[in-house]
């Protein structure tokens, strides 16, 4: 099978996912954005994996800590109440376009003591099965492109209100396991990269039973990723999230939280004449991401997506959630309402979320997320230091 045939197969199944450094020209990105989005690779890293945040407009930087903080803000892990927590999430993805794409997420946390917590997580993005044929339409079998990341996190509490977190990440992107050669001698390969996150979480009780919280999470700062030995590497979806949340304990059985996350990619906006991001360093790309929009400051503001959300708990047993995700039409055009419910029984939590959008306008319409989590191992004594 020659390169042209294989590229056509991959493009048609992966919705013009950038393959071997070839920029997409039309279609839908893996995260559901359109072709106006800032181009990056391994976009699954910025897809919300769990149902709780998925039901609140994909906001989770400053919400109350749970084990899925491994993704949203690892510094929150220091404030977990249980010594051990485990969560598994699953979401069929872009199911109106291809039925067997999915995102799976496994997250674990262990408290070493009252101040220090370790976290680990695994994200796996399955693109479904690709039927391979040669130029004569002979069956060459099937292939399952996939990507995954493996994270390790450490969170430390500083006093009673502040914590910081550090995460190290390994990323593997295997969108083609078949080697091919072009006239130039280029050979494809799986992409590999490493990255790091830094995060902060601050909470401040006030009034009788109210709590204000603030969080910052800078993620995916790492090496570029490449799919061949001769082409330059491409940017990871380096990302800045800033969030705030306010929780009111209305009485003994009713609790309400309102939250808002702001999100911005820390990669260059511009493209060169081939449609690919210019070959500049990662640190330069981060700084340029705040100043390189062709439309100036007004366009830079358009690169910030908004995620407002609310969460209501009744008797700490039943939760109802709603939110909205907005991304400017010129920067990806994702906008949709999210709804969610949660139930707690003994040590277990079950969460479900639903993404409500027009099927004509959004490939993410009717997306479902499912999460089952457990908190066990008792609780660490709270230090007064």
For the chain, list the domains and their CATH numbers: 3-379 (2.40.160.40)
Burial of 131 (0-12, 13-18, 19+ CB in 10 A): exposed
Written as one string, the DSSP assignment of 339-369 is EEEEEEETTEEEEEEEEE--TTT-TTTT-EE
Residue 288: other Cβ atoms inside 10 A = 18
* 324 vs 32: CA distance, rounded Å: 15
Picking from 364, 372, 308, the residue whose alpha carbon sits closest to that of residue 342 is 372
Q: Across all residues in the chain, what is the average pLDDT?
A: 84
The pTM of the full predicted model, rounded to 2 decimals, is: 0.85
At 234-269, the pLDDT tens digits run: 899 999 999 999 999 999 999 999 999 999 999 988
- pLDDT tens for residues 303-326? 999 999 999 999 999 999 999 999
Highest-confidence range of 6-20, 111-125, 362-376, by mean pLDDT? 111-125
Asked whether the beta carbons of 201 and 73 are under 8 A apart, the reply is: yes
């Amino acid at each position: 099978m020659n390169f042209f045939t294989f590229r056509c197969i991959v493009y048609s199944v992966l919705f013009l996912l950038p393959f071997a450094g070839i920029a997409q020209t039309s279609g839908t990105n893996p995260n559901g954005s359109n072709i106006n989005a800032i181009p990056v690779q391994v976009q699954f890293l910025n897809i919300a994996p769990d149902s709780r945040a998925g039901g609140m407009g994909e906001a989770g930087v400053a919400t109350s800590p749970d084990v899925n903080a491994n993704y949203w803000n690892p510094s929150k892990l220091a404030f977990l109440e249980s010594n051990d927590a485990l969560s598994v999430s699953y979401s069929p993805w872009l199911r109106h376009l291809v039925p067997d794409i999915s995102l799976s997420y496994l997250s674990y946390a262990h408290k070493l003591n009252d101040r220090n917590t370790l976290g680990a997580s695994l994200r796996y993005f399955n693109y479904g099965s690709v039927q391979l044929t040669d130029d004569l339409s002979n069956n060459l079998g099937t292939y399952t492109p996939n990507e995954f990341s493996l994270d390790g996190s450490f969170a430390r509490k500083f006093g009673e209100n502040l914590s910081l977190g550090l995460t190290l990440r390994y990323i593997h992107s295997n969108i083609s396991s078949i080697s091919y050669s072009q006239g130039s001698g280029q050979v494809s390969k799986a992409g590999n990269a490493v990255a790091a996150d830094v995060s902060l979480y601050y909470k401040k009780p006030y009034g009788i039973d109210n709590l204000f919280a603030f969080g910052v999470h800078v993620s995916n700062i790492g090496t570029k990723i490449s799919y061949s030995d001769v082409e330059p590497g491409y940017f990871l979806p380096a990302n800045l999230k800033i969030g705030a949340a306010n929780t009111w304990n209305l009485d003994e059985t009713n609790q309400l939280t309102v939250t808002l996350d702001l999100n911005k990619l820390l990669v260059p906006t511009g493209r060169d004449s081939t449609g690919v991001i210019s070959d500049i360093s990662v640190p330069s790309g981060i700084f340029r991401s705040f100043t390189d929009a062709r439309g100036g400051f007004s366009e830079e503001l358009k690169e910030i997506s908004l995620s407002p959300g609310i969460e209501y708990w009744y008797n700490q047993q039943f939760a109802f959630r709603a939110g909205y995700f907005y991304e400017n039409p010129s920067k990806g055009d994702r906008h949709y309402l999210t709804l969610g419910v949660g139930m707690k029984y003994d040590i277990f939590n079950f969460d479900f979320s639903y993404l409500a959008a027009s099927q004509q306008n959004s490939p993410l319409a009717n997306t479902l997320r499912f999460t089952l989590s457990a908190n066990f191992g008792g609780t660490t004594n709270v230090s007064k230091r």
